[in-house]
């Protein structure tokens, strides 16, 4: 097993669902049926609080009062996505796009569902449309970068993550994922730099500590690597087996390859 392949256990987790459009209030909602708006706003609050079933119920009520409410379809799709109900996400985001073809967030939502369903080309096509409609949409650039990353098109992944960071320099997930792309390319100094920035912005993300530790192990900064691994496992003990597998693969590549 090569040192790059040794990272597969943790890099797969790195590209988990970090890309979904968060629910947001709609300025257009203010001019809609008051009942639809009230349910929509309550659905947003419930979703923010993690009550996804309650949010879906409220968005559905909003749509009974206003069947043309694209934002309610999209945000219901987001709630379904967070429940891993990808078919419902695609149905709702597609309806939102039909009602409002210039709705960049809905293109991103459908792209997320397509990506997680394994349709990377379809996801990239949706993200293309999202960034075309809204060139300053950092989340969509990051989403497309993650799809390229999954395709192992690392140069395009790095380019899109970099664009997301130009638009939002506080985007911890983009630093983390660009770091993992650099790590897979073997550009270890840039990978370590990006993981360090990701940790600075979001010190609670265990995977950033784990992957920075693996970079440091490869560059023979063993004491620093051990500190990173310890912090990772303190934050998320469930990563223990995956981390140990990756460490052993780096230390004993011939053994890990069998």
Q: Mind listing the pLDDT tens digit for each residue in 153-164?
A: 999 999 999 999
CATH superfamily for domain 5-15+36-256? Tetratricopeptide repeat domain (1.25.40.10)
Give the domain ranges of the chain: 5-15+36-256
Task: Give the rounded distance of the alpha carbon of 221 from its chain centre.
Answer: 29
Q: Mind listing the pLDDT tens digit for each residue in 57-94?
A: 999 999 999 999 999 999 999 999 999 999 999 999 99
* DSSP element (H, E) containing 153: none
pLDDT score recorded for residue 2: 37
**Percent of the chain clearing pLDDT 70 (strictly above):** 85
Q: Is 131 exposed, middle or buried (0-12, 13-18, 19+ CB in 10 A)?
A: buried
- Closest C-alpha to 63, from 46, 44, 76, 78: 76
The Cβ-side half-sphere exposure at 29, using a 13 Å CA radius, reads 23
Q: Please tell me the distance from the alpha carbon of residue 189 to that of residue 182, in angstroms, as a whole number.
A: 9
**Percent of the chain clearing pLDDT 90 (strictly above):** 82
Q: Please tell me the distance from the alpha carbon of residue 238 to that of residue 77, in angstroms, as a whole number.
A: 29
Regarding predicted confidence, which is higher, 61 or 3? 61
Residue 83, token pair as written in the block:
């429940």
Is the CB of residue 19 less than 8 Å from the CB of residue 112?
yes
Q: Please tell me the distance from the alpha carbon of residue 27 to that of residue 213, in angstroms, as a whole number.
A: 45
Please state the pTM of the whole predicted model: 0.86
Q: Please tell me the distance from the alpha carbon of residue 196 to that of residue 7, in angstroms, as a whole number.
A: 18
In the DSSP assignment, the letter for residue 17 is S
Q: How many other C-beta atoms are found inside a 10 Å radius of the C-beta of residue 136?
A: 12
Q: Is the pLDDT assigned to residue 114 strictly greater than 50?
A: yes
Q: Is 185 exposed, middle or buried (0-12, 13-18, 19+ CB in 10 A)?
A: middle
In this prediction, residues 202-224 reach a mean pLDDT of 95
């Amino acid at each position: 097993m090569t040192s790059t392949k040794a990272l597969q256990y943790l890099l797969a987790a790195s590209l988990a669902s970090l890309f979904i459009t968060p629910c947001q209030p709609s300025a257009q909602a203010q001019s809609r049926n008051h009942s639809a708006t009230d349910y929509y706003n309550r659905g947003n609050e419930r979703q923010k609080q993690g009550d996804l079933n309650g949010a879906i119920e409220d968005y559905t009520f909003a749509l009974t009062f206003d069947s043309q409410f694209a934002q309610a379809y999209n945000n219901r799709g987001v709630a379904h996505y967070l429940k891993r109900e990808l078919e419902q996400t695609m149905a709702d985001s597609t309806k939102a796009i039909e009602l409002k073809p210039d709705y960049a967030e809905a293109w991103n939502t459908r792209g997320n569902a397509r990506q997680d369903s394994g349709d990377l080309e379809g996801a990239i096509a949706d993200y293309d449309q999202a960034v075309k409609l809204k060139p300053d949409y950092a989340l969509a650039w990051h989403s497309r970068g993650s799809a390229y990353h999954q395709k192992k098109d690392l140069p395009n992944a790095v380019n899109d993550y970099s664009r997301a960071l130009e638009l939002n320099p506080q985007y911890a997930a983009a630093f983390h994922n660009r770091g993992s792309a650099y790590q897979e390319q073997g550009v270890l100094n840039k990978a370590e730099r990006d993981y360090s920035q990701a940790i600075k912005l979001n010190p609670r993300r265990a995977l950033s500590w784990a992957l920075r530790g693996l970079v440091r192990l490869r560059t023979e900064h063993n004491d620093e690597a051990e500190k990173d691994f310890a912090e990772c496992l303190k934050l998320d003990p469930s990563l223990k087996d995956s981390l140990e597998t990756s460490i052993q693969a780096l230390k004993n590549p011939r053994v890990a390859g069998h």
